[in-house]
């Protein structure tokens, strides 16, 4: 089958921006509005991941939030799940690759902006759960110093419709990206708002120091690395970790350590610490970043060559990608995935699925780059059993979530007393463990029962050929 080079009849593919294990992000052009867009696609057959579906649910909830890209369209086309997003600029891993370290000034300015975006995301009931340089982008044009946070593929809605925080649990598997994950993630705890901020601090330390002490562990498996990195994070004194950077970073980490799962972080405290750090370092917070300064210098040095430069760049046309090349790229992601999933037997709960931890070549704005350490994300599958959540009484099942229930999820209880929720962001994985696939079926059922889930046989539904295949 030919890979589409135009989505929804409007969005024309131009070139690849990035490719990860689960999908591809492309530069596109909205030919009706005559604006560039970002196109994120994953192969539909990667239904075991369903990260785009989840991302759409979260993005819809976050629309209108400053610092979150606009969701312009989503749907399915050919064999792809597609989302069309407002086009943004480069992500912060790009700048790290070129600069190796950021100044305190750049880091503090980034910290202040990102904390504000996180606060807004949290206020909409969402925890990001995978904050890292690759998921933090600048805007474009007049927003070129404005920060956006992207990639809600493993985010979670942490409040129900009544505004209650979903219950804590401590038997989840690791989720996120080892380098930046919070201590709670390493412990397998349910993640909350404080964990996004803890990850932010690791990201900022990485910017200032150029690396974190738990990088470059040799001769360890991925599992061992996750455990060892967790131990290092737990054992290291914040002041030791932050020894060459302003003391305020240590103070933020010390503050975060006191917070509980339910705690509302004091965002003001955090950005006041950043402001204090700037003040103590004599830094002027003027929204000029390391790369802006360098660019300014280059422009003035090369002023005489500017005309020539302009002439040559305007002659460069964006070449549409070979559709076969794009197809190969997406299919490669798909086949990696299928290989990883080939041992799955049981159909229901999300289980751990790793993006490959190796460095994968990707192309960002035309230059070949290595994408850094990748996320470990749960795999979400349509529920093949009906289940009732006891904590979810008659009217306590969140409306917005209930509306999102998939057709494949059936009401298990016919007496009308209990609600049945399935395949939803937030609820679903508050019940299902994320590393479920190795556990025998009988144990899975008893674990679910222990969690207050009443199991009934699912009534006959029409199943996709894929699902049928897995059962056989």
Is residue 351 within the footprint of Mg ion (CB under 5 A)? Answer: no
Contact status: 17 vs ligand ADP (CB under 6 A): yes
- Residues 95/293, Cβ–Cβ less than 8 Å: no
Decide if residue 48 touches ligand ADP (CB under 6 A). Answer: no
Tokens of 154: 């493993």
Q: Does 135 bind Mg ion (CB under 5 A)?
A: yes
Task: Indicate if 30 belongs to the active site.
Answer: no
What number of other Cβ atoms are within 10 A of residue 54's Cβ? 26
By the rule CB under 6 A, 409 interacts with ligand ADP:
no
Q: Establish if 38 lies at the interface with ligand ADP (CB under 6 A).
A: yes
Stretch that binds ligand ADP, among 81-89, 243-251, 411-419, 429-437 (CB under 6 A): 81-89
> Does the protein bind ligand ADP through residue 88 (CB under 6 A)?
yes
Residues in region 140-159 near ligand ADP by CB under 6 A: 150-151, 153
The answer to whether residue 134 forms part of the interface with ligand ADP (CB under 6 A) is yes
User: Which region among 27-35, 149-157, 255-263, 277-285 touches Mg ion (by CB under 5 A)?
Assistant: 149-157
Among ligand ADP, Mg ion, none, residue 153 binds (CB under 5-8 Å by kind): ligand ADP
Q: Identify the active-site residue in 48, 130, 195, 388.
A: 130
Residue number closest to Mg ion, CB atom: 151
Is-contact 466 47, C-beta < 8 A? Answer: yes
Closer residue to ligand ADP in complex, CB, 31/187: 31
Between the two ends of the chain, the Cα-to-Cα distance in Å is 27
- On the CB side of 8, CA atoms within 13 Å amount to 18
Residues 192-229 as b or e (16 or more Cβ within 10 Å = b): bbbbbbbbbbbbbbbbbbeebebeeeeeeeeeebbeeb
- CB of residue 279 to Mg ion, shortest distance in Å: 33
CB closer to Mg ion, 151 vs 423: 151
Nearer CB in complex with Mg ion: 135/226: 135
Q: What are the structure tokens assigned to 165, written together? A: 């925080």
The single residue among 151, 198, 290, 434 that binds Mg ion, judged by CB under 5 A, is 151
Residue 353 CA to residue 340 CA, distance in Å, equals 8
CA distance 325 to 337: 19
Q: Which of 44, 91, 195, 433 binds ligand ADP (CB under 6 A)?
A: 91
DSSP conformation letters of 224-286 = HHHHHHHHHHHHS-HHHHTTTS-HHHHHHHHHHHT--TTPPP-HHHHHHHHHHHHHHTT----
What angle, rounded to 10 degrees, do the helices at 193-209 and 104-123 form?
A: 170
Tokens of 293: 């300064």
The total of other beta-carbon atoms located within 10 Å of residue 399's CB is 11
Q: Which residues of this chain interact with ligand ADP, rule CB under 6 A? A: 17-18, 20, 22-23, 25, 38, 40, 69, 85-88, 91, 134-135, 137, 150-151, 153, 364
| Residues binding Mg ion (CB under 5 A) | 134-135, 151
Catalytic residues, by residue number, are 130
């Amino acid at each position: 089958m030919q890979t589409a080079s135009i989505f929804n009849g409007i969005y024309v593919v131009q070139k690849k921006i990035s490719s990860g294990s689960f999908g591809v992000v492309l530069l596109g052009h909205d030919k009706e509005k005559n604006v560039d867009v970002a196109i994120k696609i994953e192969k539909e057959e990667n239904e075991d991941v369903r990260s785009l579906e989840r991302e759409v649910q979260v993005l819809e909830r976050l629309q209108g939030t400053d610092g979150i890209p606009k969701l312009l369209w989503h749907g399915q086309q050919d064999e792809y799940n597609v989302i069309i997003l407002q086009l943004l600029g480069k992500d912060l891993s790009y700048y790290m690759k070129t600069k190796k370290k950021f100044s305190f000034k750049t880091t503090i300015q980034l910290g202040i902006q990102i904390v504000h975006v996180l606060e807004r995301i949290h206020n909409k009931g969402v925890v990001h759960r995978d904050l890292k340089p690759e998921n933090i982008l600048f805007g474009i044009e007049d927003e070129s110093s404005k920060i956006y946070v992207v990639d809600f593929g493993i985010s979670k809605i942490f409040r129900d419709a009544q505004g209650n925080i979903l219950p804590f649990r401590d038997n989840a598997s690791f989720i996120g990206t080892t380098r930046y994950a919070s201590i709670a993630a390493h412990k397998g705890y349910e993640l909350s708002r404080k964990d996004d901020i803890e990850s932010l601090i690791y990201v900022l330390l990485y910017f200032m120091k150029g690396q974190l002490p738990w990088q470059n562990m040799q001769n360890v498996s991925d599992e061992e690395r996750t455990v060892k990195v967790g131990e290092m994070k737990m054992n290291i004194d914040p002041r030791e970790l932050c020894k060459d950077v302003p003391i305020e970073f240590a103070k933020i980490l010390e503050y975060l350590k006191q917070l509980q799962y339910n705690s509302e972080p004091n965002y003001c405290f955090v950005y006041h610490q950043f402001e204090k750090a700037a003040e103590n370092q004599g830094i002027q917070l003027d929204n000029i970043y390391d790369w802006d300064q360098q660019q300014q210098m280059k422009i003035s040095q090369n002023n005489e060559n500017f005309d020539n430069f302009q002439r040559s760049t305007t002659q460069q046309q964006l070449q549409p990608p070979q559709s076969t090349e794009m197809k190969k790229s997406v299919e490669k992601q798909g086949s990696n995935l299928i290989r990883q999933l080939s041992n799955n037997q049981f159909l229901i709960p999300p289980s751990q699925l790793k993006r490959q931890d190796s460095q994968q070549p990707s192309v960002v704005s035309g230059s070949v780059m290595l994408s850094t350490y990748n996320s470990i994300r749960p795999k979400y599958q349509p529920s093949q059993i009906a289940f009732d959540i006891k904590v979810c009484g008659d009217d306590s099942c969140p409306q917005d979530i209930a509306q999102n229930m998939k057709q494949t999820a059936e009401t298990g209880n016919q007496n009308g007393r209990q609600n049945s929720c399935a395949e939803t962001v937030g609820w679903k994985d508050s019940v299902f463990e994320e590393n479920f696939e190795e556990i025998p079926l009988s144990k899975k059922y008893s674990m679910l029962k222990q969690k207050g889930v009443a199991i009934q046989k699912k009534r006959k539904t029409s199943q996709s050929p894929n699902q049928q295949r897995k059962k056989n």
